[in-house]
Each structure stands twice: as C-alpha cells, then as structure tokens.
Structure 1
Amino acid sequence: MSPKPGSASAAAAASQPPLEGAAQPDAAARTQLPGFSVNLPQFEGPFDLLLTLIARKRLDITELALAEVTDEFIAYMRADGDLGRATEFLVVASTLLALKAHRLLPHDPDEADEDMELLEARDLLFARLLQYRAYKEAAAAFRGRAETASRTHPRVVALPPELAALLPRLVATIDAEDLARIAADVFTRPHDPGVQTVHLHERVPVGEQLRILADRLRRAGTLTFTELTADAGRTAVVVARFLALLIMYRQGGVDLTQAAPMEEITVTWRGDADAAGMTSPDLEEEFA
C-alpha cells in the first residue's frame, strides 16, 4: 500500500523525477479545482497532486476508492456550486474509473506490449484532460469575442451625395383612390378555371358506349370482349366499354362468362332488358 502523502511524503513523492519514458503530467494533469482536497486511507492532500501521482505511477490507482473521492467532491460542490468545475471532475473521474477497471480486469499474457502501451494510464488521462482544456479554451475565446462584439456599435452616416445622385428617383404616381380601384379589380377578378385537357383528348361518355354495345349484342346475341372493342381505337374507349358492360351485367342486361382468369370474356345478350331504360350514375362518367 502506498504511503499516505498528506504532508512531507506527498511533497517528496511529487518532487521526484518522472519515470523514464513517461510524459510530463504537470501541465496536462493540472485541473481547475485548487480548493478540492481528498482524504483517503492511501492519500490525503490536493486533488491535483493525486492526479499527478497517478500519472507518474507513484500511486496505484487500484488502491484508491473512487466512490469516496466522488462523495467528497459532491460535498465540495455543495459549498462551491461551480458548474465548470463539476464538468471537469466528471471527465477526470470517468477516466480514472476506466483506468481502474482496466487494471483490475484479467488480461491475456500473450498480449503484445505495444497494445498495452495504448492503454497506459497517463496517456488516457492526459488525452482526456487536454481535450477538455482545448474545448474550454475555445469556449472562453468565443465568449471573449462575443463580449467584445457586444460593445461594438456601427457608425451610422448618410449616403454620400455622389452615390445618392446615382439612385433612381422614386415618385408616387397613384393616390389612395387608385389603390382602392386596383384592389377592387383584384378581388372581383374571376378565378382561374385551371388547366383543361379537353383540347388534348376527346371525352368518351360511358352512356354512349353502352348504347353501342347494346345495339351490337341485340343483333349478334353473343360476342367476345375483343370483338366488342375491335374498333375502339383508343384506350379510353376500351375502358368506357368495359365499364358499360359491368353496368349492363349488374342490371341484368347481359351474361358474362370467362373460362379462366386472364382468358377471353364472352358476353351474351339476355334479351329481357332494354338498354334505353338502363340508368346508373356511372353513365354520366366520361373518359379521356
């Protein structure tokens, strides 16, 4: 167990030269918690010194109770209340917890030394602290610029005469009565009927196609759908005649037979219905 560096032993441990190959932790491990001290069985002193000893490997992190450190910091924050210090402590504490978990978990003895170096305590701790410090300094720089800009007031001057002479002269040529007349014209203007397609495709009334089919079936008796649409010419006519057949079938004017799906449809005139007397709202439809 490491000695309790609460007084002279702590200063002596911190003043010892760093281990060979270890990064200098003083600049990176230094936090903004100068008034926060911890009192643990293994260590008693400032929190910054604790981080320095861990970074220099003068103190084993596995021997520290991080829960006690957290409890002491919560008590410290209740008296201080600085949100920035709380954020920095959370970053450092999470890093220390990850390092302690890594030290306590079993490792593969055959693991390469270079992989182990990537997980060294000082590297992770320094990286987190430097990253946090970079964001903190950037935020301070932005805050300083915002404060400087808030004290800046642009000088408002008139347009120079040589530039004002280049602007076109705006002269109002209408009065209130003219504006009222324009507004009345806008509000009473007929609405746009929209885009029409009548001039592109001729409408195909369903009722007209029904009468054509009824006349042909009355004379022939039985016809296929292909024969009934042989002279259709356009897809719209075929659709209108198919809908007309459905109307005639629903009202009992014809019988429809089909041997199998997708096969030819055979239409038989029943002879007991009058096409002229058939009525349906669908007869008013038109296809283009």
Structure 2
Amino acid sequence: MGKLWHRASDNYEIETELYSGPLDLLLDLIQKAELDITKLALAKVTDQFLAYVTLHKDVDPDFSSEFLVIASKLVQIKSEAMLPRPPIRMEDEEDVGETLARQLIVYREIKKASQWLSERFDQGQRCYLHLAQSYPVNVQLDLSNIEIADLIKALEQIAIQEQSIQDGATISIPRLTLRKKVQEIIQILRQDSQIRFSNLLGEQASRLDSIVLFLAILELVKQEMISTEQEGLFSDITLQANDKLYHVIENEVQIEEL
C-alpha cells in the first residue's frame, strides 16, 4: 500500500487507503498515534486529516464534502488549541472540540460492535439455538371420531411391513388378542389404581406389542374406564383408573377383535 507522505519530526505517516467516512479516518489517526479521544488529540491529527482530504478531494464530491465539514471543525479546534488562553464562549455555545470527541467515541463503540458481528457472521454464528421450555402437559385424547376398525387397519399395515419377505415365503399376520390385553390392563389397575405406560410395556416388548398395548389403552380411554396424564413433552404416560373400571365385568367389555 502506497504512502502519501512522512514527516519524521511529528513521527506520523498517512496511508492512501479509502475510509468509510471522516470519523473512520479520524479514529484511525488517533489510534495509530496511541492517543485518547480528546479535543487535544483531534488538534494533533489535523494536519494528517487535511493531507488525506487533499489527496482524495477529486474522487467523489459527496465524499469530499463530508470530509471538508470535519476538516473545518478540526482547523477551528487546532486554532483554539494554539491560543494562549481558551476562547470565551457563551453559555449555550457549542464547544466544537468536545462535541466532535463525543461523536468519535460513539462511533468507535459502534464500529467495535459492527466488527464483532461481522466476525460472528464469518464464523457461521448467525443463529442462536432457542430451546423450548418444558411445560406440564395433561393429555386429553379425543376419540369421538376414531373407530377401532381404523386402528386395526393401521395395525395390520404395520404388521405386514414388519415381516421379512423371503422368496416363496408366505406372509402371515399373527392374530393379536386386543380383548386379552384390555382385560390385563383392567386387572392391573384394579390392584394398583395407576401405572406407567413403560411399566406395562416392559423392556423386551416388540413394536407389535407396543401397538397392541396402545390400542388397548385407547379403547379403555374411549370407554371412560381410564384417564391418561403426561407430565411433559415426550415423557412417560401415566394411566389412572376411573370409577367405571371397578364396576365393569371384564368379559362383558365390548371390543372389536383384531
């Protein structure tokens, strides 16, 4: 990158890079000189700033006008700094140096935030994972429009997919006894008024066992013999016996067989 000029006595040099605006240039000059952002620091970098504006004055009129506004303020600041005593200002009169220093401090913080966001963008950290809170869930199953025949048909389709198809082999679907599973649940809940779905299922249960158990639970819920509860999303389901379960005769429960 080419250098515009160098003056050893003041120990500074101006680079010919383009800045996004006059505040960007000012901030860079002050940081390279390792100065705090004060009115005095602005006076010290006035010459460098004017040299940069002179070099780029023909690039773009709009670009030049922005820099010239700041340049005029810097000239005023430097002129006041060279006076033996500070100028007397009216009570409501603006101190150009203090105002510009405050603007530059704000600009510096904005630039830092912009650089931080740019780095995160480049690192692919544009997204933040928002984890959904866990809320207690009381599941109420509405089976008013569901027929047991529909569930049986779905069960049969799953059972067919479970079979390993061999050349010349005959696919047979095991006959499942939904009634027996319903009676089993009734007997368990009469001894203990509530039980978890996972305890009913057991650790060695197949997918087919799970489906039959689920169908049996749906049937008991539909007939209002049990209620179900779930503490959280994807948590275990608890089965609770209703009064009707204790008065029903097991063999008289109306169930469509598989």
Superposition TM-score, scaled by structure 2 size: 0.31
Q: Which has the larger radius of gyration?
A: 1
Q: Which has the higher contact order (CA 8 A, sep 6+)?
A: 2
Superposition TM-score, scaled by structure 1 size: 0.28
